[in-house]
Structure 1
């Protein structure tokens, strides 16, 4: 897996035995800006990329061969979690209806609501799987 841009900058800086302040001075920015780059909170100005690449003895193309956007991975993890939660709710509703019915503690109307909620969760889960 490729490194994020920030991880790449931090690694290159450390390989050159430079501090964030030294990189900042060479780039004409603040050390806070370099810190934000390294933590993937911001990205250097596009016009400064050639200077940054030169600082690390590489081409802009080599510098940009990193993963800049991790949003897709985050969205995938969130979708997986939602899918799992929906299946869990559906299972819980099914078990609750069976157990409460056996104990004669559940009215038909409430059982139908619980089963409906479980089915809705299964539908959401199935829809999200088909969308991928």
Structure 2
């Protein structure tokens, strides 16, 4: 079933009552431009005026504000799940790449004799830290 957004709902209900935007605006004490913006979803009515809007359109507030986000669709959940998996994969790759880069840097700098022992241990420690961070993530997946 197709569900209208808030602006479309206002426009549909207004047209069912054979009202113009100006007539609705007069009853709501706003301008016709405000009603036009509501219907195009460029702005929304003040929350305090929604009950009056529902009364003018002769519907319940619940019917008027049938919020499309309320029905959290299965596809949105699947999409978020896919995004979360992609993010977790990217983080896991980063957490594995940092130790690899640190290890390679220690080896290369040791060969070139440009690395002190303490700096080497610090770099390897940083690498081990990121490996340790990634371990719990692997168990979750």
What TM-score results when the alignment is normalised by the length of structure 1?
0.54
- Unaligned ranges ≥5, structure 2: 15-37, 43-66
Q: Normalized against structure 2, the TM-score is what?
A: 0.51
- 1:67 matched to 2:75? The reply is yes
CA contact (8 A) 1:23 1:31 kept: no
Larger RCO, structure (CA 8 Å, separation 6 or more): 1
Q: Name 2:113's counterpart in structure 1.
A: 104
Q: What is the number of equivalent residue pairs in this alignment?
A: 92
Which of 92, 95, 103 is 2:104 aligned to?
A: 95
Find 2:11's aligned residue among 15, 25, 29. Answer: 25
Instruction: Give 1:93 deviation, angstroms.
Output: 0.2
Q: Could you tell me whether the CA contact under 8 Å between 2:8 and 2:39 is conserved in 1?
A: no
C-alpha offsets along residues 84-116 of structure 1, whole Å, 9 cap, x if unaligned? 111111110000001101111100100000001
Higher Cα Rg, which structure: 2
- Root-mean-square deviation (Å): 3.3
The structure 1 segments of at least 4 consecutive aligned residues displaced by more than 4 Å after TM superposition are: 21-24
Match of 1:82 among 91, 107, 116: 91
